[in-house]
Amino acid sequence: MVALSLIMAWHITAAAAPEFIATVSVGDFPTAIAMSPDGAFAYITNQHDDTVSVIRLSRHALAATIGVGNAPNAVSVTPDGNRVYAGSNPISVIRTADHREVDTIAAGMNIYGMAVTPNGQYVYVSNPASYTVGVLDTSVNAMIDLIMVGGGPTRMAASPDGDFIYVTKWADNQLKVIETATHAVVSTISVGSSPHGIAVTPDGCYACIANRISDTVSIVATADTSVEGTVPVGNEPVGVAIDPEGSCAYISNLSDDSVSVIELSTRTVVATIATGNAPSAVAVTPNGEYLYVANSADNTVTVIRISERSGLFFPIKTTTGKTAIIYIE
């Protein structure tokens, strides 16, 4: 990454439609994104028309639309890339070879968040209404446990080693840590107001939590579960993604149509990226080249190239409301 002292030297060139941005029309009210591990596809849940949109990453184009259960709001891809779990209740199981729904699982809850363990054995799902996190065994495609976590469990992420699941809880401004070996809550951390999206750095050392009401991101050290930093971002941050190198966190700001880019080494916002209307979720492609942003209010996904060769590209909003390009060598 470029040192923070070089920010003032960034060259800005006005551009109405940067060639490295694509806009892909998807279903009604996209809310969550998951990438296939091989970088072939992105899967987007569309809450209002009960579908999953499949985008082919090599073309940034819609490849398929899959009908699923009622109001899907969460999605995960298994580490082997063979199955996608998506839904609310029921959970749909999608076979990636032909993008067909091959099974449904009665969750007994309306799911809001989802995380698959790195070994693919379990999918954890959150249910805000029942104050629980459910455990789905992928070998039998059935719920095998319910973990009481308290009010408002929202989004979740797995640690890279698979030992822990991190669950944001909007109702009491907390992050819960679940040990996967025992399915027990082992730690509770106070974060910002109404925590929503979460992502863990590739080395497992930090979790970044978007606090929707306080307009901040909490950076939690996973080793001792302490909050090591709080970074102000845009209005109503809800989605979080981290690049494969762990250099930057990308935060979707629902109410100001932007993504804040946090340089994790300095814990500062180094760019603000213009997006579509009401960006609800973000994801970085496995090769780190593209950022995908689901825009819930205009039913699109914005694709932004965030790295190429030795440079970084950022389309940003200027103070006059126009779009500009930042290129960093």
Contacts of 12 (CB under 8 A, 6+ apart): 316, 318, 324, 325, 326
- What pLDDT score does 116 carry? 98
- What pLDDT score does 313 carry? 45
Q: Contacts from 253-261 at CB under 8 Å and sequence distance 24+?
A: 253/279, 254/212, 254/278, 254/279, 254/280, 254/296, 257/295, 258/234, 258/317, 259/291, 259/293, 260/217, 260/233, 260/234, 261/314
- Closest listed residue to residue 73, CA positions, set 39, 136, 137, 27: 27
Q: How far apart are CA 321 and CA 21, in angstroms?
A: 18
- What pLDDT score does 316 carry? 53
Domains in the chain and their CATH numbers?
4-328 (2.130.10.10)
The predicted model scores a pTM of 0.89
The pair of structure tokens assigned to 266 is: 């300095």
- 């916002």: which residue's tokens? 269
The pair of structure tokens assigned to 162 is: 């698979």
Q: What is the mean pLDDT of each run of 10 residues along the chain (329 residues)?
A: 32 32 95 98 98 97 96 97 96 98 90 97 95 97 96 96 98 97 98 98 98 98 97 98 96 97 96 95 96 98 79 49 46
